[in-house]
Amino acid sequence: MSDRAPQPVERQLPTEESRDLLALVRDMIQREIAPRAAAEEDAGHFPREIFTLLSRSGLLGLPYDAEYGGGDQPYAVYLQVLEELAAARLTVGLGVSVHSLACHALAGYGTKEQQATHLPAMLGGGLLGAYCLSEPSSGSDAASLRTKAVRDGDDWVITGTKAWITHGGVADFYTVLARTGEEGARGITAFLVPGDAEGLNAAAPEKKMGMKGSPTAQLNFDGVRIPDSRRIGEEGQGFAIALSALDSGRLGIAACAIGVARAALDEAVSYATGRQQFGRPIADFQGLRFMLADMATQIEAGRSLYLAAARLRDAGRPFSREAAMAKLFCTDAAMRVTTDAVQVLGGYGYTLDFPVERFMREAKVLQIVEGTNQIQRMVIARHLVGPETR
Ligand SMILES: Cc1cc2nc3c(=O)[nH]c(=O)nc-3n(C[C@H](O)[C@H](O)[C@H](O)COP(=O)(O)OP(=O)(O)OC[C@H]3O[C@@H](n4cnc5c(N)ncnc54)[C@H](O)[C@@H]3O)c2cc1C
């Protein structure tokens, strides 16, 4: 198994501070993340202490306001950090992205008082978050969710089941979308639920194809009581908050996908230059050279696309369409590139002795999470031709 840190890439970074940040991240990857990645993924070990380290180093709050302990970094910088982390280990890169997604509601829609109370611990105080939208019967059709929150005096009582929750059972806080009113998108409200709330229980983690170090679990809310001071935004505003979080989150998934694809290309290049067949390195054969060239081109194109969307976001412009395009393109590219990397390694690529099979299994999930790629196409098409007529 290879435990190498990914090869460095030429990056456009806007400031000295952002260049130092990327150097710090690469150093942390080399020392703390890459050496353990393969063995821990194989064993299904969740590296909780790495997230504590990232939090204490200011890397769990990068795109958020410095006033509350965030890093005040542009999204275009934050995403490149995610790409580096995911290239070393997807469980870590995606975990940071999900944590960021979980902070989005409070940072964007919380009151000043709520932000001052909760955000410093969430952004840099060692806490880890999770985002709870999906349910057993509502995935793509998220607005049909059934988990209920019922008002009881100054409290809310939450009852229902959330499914597929990344960090389910290990998170310190959960951003939860629950029904407080009418059917459909307008009856949903967002809440911040502490991880140790009474009545909140996680099932055993799902047994997944890949990302085995990242726990994904169902969460049962059995009359979980929380004060109204933990309601985020207005009653009925939850679905809009959830979608706004997902626009940003999708860019995180796109960056992670490019990270995984890059790791696969590194392995493919290294193998192709070392392996000899017909008395020559296989990298001599045009059939493989063109494959490597296509892989590299898809990675560069994907990075350009996610950065273009991030720069729109950084400029305060609409970026929902571009985020969907970046998520779609980068994750499909990651699936193709990782599959081709297995091909470049031939039979060895199909064994557990090389990491490319893991990258291929990991790439698959990125086409599914935070809106499947069919849903991304629906979002893009709506921007082109308007909503469906039925
Ligand atoms: C490892 C992992 C981690 C996850 N982490 C989280 C998390 O932290 N928080 C969270 O809330 N959720 C999480 N999810 C859930 C994820 O977001 C859902 O799996 C995803 O949204 C799809 O929902 P579903 O699985 O119910 O599939 P379904 O919605 O049932 O879709 C099944 C298939 O039908 C297709 N389909 C559905 N509707 C349409 C349509 N209108 N047009 C065309 N095709 C359509 C889909 O694209 C898919 O191919 C996670 C999932 C996984 C696998």
Contact (CB, 8 A) for 34 and 69: no
Q: Hey, which of 372, 376, 382, 390 would you mutate to test ligand 1's pocket, going by the most ligand atoms within 8 Å of its Cβ?
A: 372
Ligand 1 centroid to 156 CA: how many Å? Answer: 28
Phi-psi category of residue 240: left, alpha or beta, with phi > 0 → left and psi -120 to 50 → alpha? alpha
Ligand 1 atom 29 nearest Cα: 140
Ligand 1 centroid to 134 CA: how many Å? Answer: 8
| The predicted structure's pLDDT at residue 12 | 83
| The predicted structure's pLDDT at residue 360 | 98
Atom of ligand 1 nearest to the CA of 206: 1
Window from 7-21, 125-139, 207-221, 245-259 with minimum mean pLDDT: 7-21
| Angstrom distance (rounded) from CA 54 to CA 163 | 26
Is 260 domain-assigned? yes
Is 218 domain-assigned? yes
Atom of ligand 1 nearest to the CA of 101: 8
* Number of other residues whose CB lies within 10 A of the CB of residue 54: 27
Quick: pLDDT tens for 260-302. Answer: 999 999 999 999 999 999 999 999 999 999 999 999 999 999 9
**Is residue 246 lining ligand 1, measured as CB closer than 6 Å?**
no
**Is residue 341 lining ligand 1, measured as CB closer than 6 Å?**
no
Give the end of a domain, one of 209, 236, 263.
Answer: 236
Q: Do 111 and 138 fall into the same domain?
A: no
Whether residue 135 has pLDDT greater than 80 = yes
Atom of ligand 1 nearest to the CA of 208: 1
pLDDT > 70 fraction of the chain, expressed in percent and rounded: 99
Q: Do 221 and 262 fall into the same domain?
A: no
Q: Give, in order, the Cα–Cα distances in Å from 247 to each of 109, 337, 347, 386.
A: 15, 24, 39, 18
Ligand 1 centroid to 145 CA: how many Å? Answer: 13
Give the model's confidence band at 2: pLDDT under 50 very low, under 70 low, under 90 confident, else very high: low
Q: Do 173 and 226 fall into the same domain?
A: yes
| The predicted structure's pLDDT at residue 1 | 47
Q: Do 220 and 349 fall into the same domain?
A: no
Average pLDDT, the chain: 97
Give the end of a domain, one of 89, 124, 159.
Answer: 124
Ligand 1 centroid to 138 CA: how many Å? Answer: 8
Encoded amino acid at 166, one letter: T
**Is residue 156 lining ligand 1, measured as CB closer than 6 Å?**
no
Whether residue 10 has pLDDT greater than 90 = no
**Is residue 292 lining ligand 1, measured as CB closer than 6 Å?**
no
- 0.85 exceeded by pTM: yes
| Angstrom distance (rounded) from CA 22 to CA 349 | 30
Ligand 1 centroid to 142 CA: how many Å? Answer: 9
Is 85 domain-assigned? yes
Is 9 domain-assigned? no
Whether residue 100 has pLDDT greater than 90 = yes
Whether residue 357 has pLDDT greater than 50 = yes
**Is residue 171 lining ligand 1, measured as CB closer than 6 Å?**
no
**Is residue 139 lining ligand 1, measured as CB closer than 6 Å?**
yes
Q: Do 133 and 245 fall into the same domain?
A: no
Domain carrying residue 76: 16-124
Give the end of a domain, one of 58, 92, 124.
Answer: 124
| Active-site amino acid positions | 370
Whether residue 184 has pLDDT greater than 90 = yes
**Is residue 165 lining ligand 1, measured as CB closer than 6 Å?**
yes
Q: Do 159 and 247 fall into the same domain?
A: no
**Mean pLDDT to the nearest integer, 151-171:** 98
Q: Do 24 and 111 fall into the same domain?
A: yes
Is 200 domain-assigned? yes
**Is residue 368 lining ligand 1, measured as CB closer than 6 Å?**
yes
CA angle, residues 310, 311, 313, in degrees to nearest 5: 65
Q: Give, in order, the Cα–Cα distances in Å from 52 to each of 196, 205, 239, 249.
A: 18, 21, 30, 21
Q: Provide the CA 345 distance to its chain's centre, in angstroms.
A: 28
Tally of structural domains, the chain: 3
